[in-house]
Amino acid sequence: AQTVTQSQPEMSVQEAETVTLSCTYDTSENNYYLFWYKQPPSRQMILVIRQEAYKQQNATENRFSVNFQKAAKSFSLKISDSQLGDTAMYFCAFIFKAAGNKLTFGGGTRVLVKP
Q: Which residues bind other proteins (CB under 8 A)?
A: 4, 6, 9, 33, 35, 37, 42-47, 50, 52, 91, 93, 95-97, 100-108
Shortest Å distance, C-beta 33 to other proteins: 5
Cβ at position 94, least distance to other proteins in Å = 10
Residues paired with residue 75 on neighbouring β-strands, in sequence order: 68
Pairing of strands 109-114, 10-14: parallel
> Residue 86 or 106: which CB sits closer to other proteins?
106
Q: Closest approach of Cβ 78 to other proteins, in Å?
A: 19
How many whole angstroms separate alpha carbon 75 and alpha carbon 22? 7
